[in-house]
Amino acid sequence: MLPRLSRAADNSILWIVAAILMAGFGGRRGRRAAVRGIGSILIASLTVNQGAKRLARRPRPPLRNVPATRRLKSVPLTTSFPSGHSASAAAFTTAVFMEWPAAGRLIAPIAGLVAYSRVYVGVHYPGDVIVGVMAGTGIARLTRLLDRAGPP
């Protein structure tokens, strides 16, 4: 189950589907949550995958101790630190929660499982996931500040 969930979060597909559902069925609140969630993912992904990973260049953990049934079919080619999947999951969930707390509470356990799955399948160290979650959460919270500043 966790390898499938981890793959479902590749390229943020899981979060995009959630955003489409929220925007389609959640009224104004759902649309705002979807837009803020996707926007937060875009910023988090750019920051983590194109910035932090290139600076840290930490190799992925060795897979020799991970049972074959837990491994992903294809190992990611990028470096390990921080976890982009965890950053995106946390960014989306935090952003949704700020706009629509009830939806955020429903999404949070899934996001937590996505983050955990990255260690479970052997492609990240726990610290990679923790820093990814912290980055995603911080970036989503920053969007709230940017929204408040807004245009004059």
Can you give the residue ranges of every domain in the chain?
2-61+73-149
Rounded to 10 deg, the angle between the 126-149 and 27-47 helix axes is 120
From the list 25, 5, 1, the residue with the least C-alpha distance to 115 is 5
pLDDT in tens, 119-148: 999 899 999 999 999 999 999 999 877 776
Give residue 117's pLDDT: 94
With 0.75 as the threshold, say if the pTM is over it.
Answer: yes
Whether 150 shows a pLDDT value over 70: the answer reads no
- Percentage, residues of the chain above pLDDT 70: 96
Q: What is the pLDDT of residue 63?
A: 82
Closest alpha carbon to 23 in 45, 38, 44: 38
20-21-24 Cα angle (round to 5): 85
Average pLDDT value for residue range 74-83: 84
Please tell me the predicted confidence (pLDDT) of residue 68.
Answer: 81
pLDDT digits (tens, 9 = 90+) for 35-46: 999 999 999 999
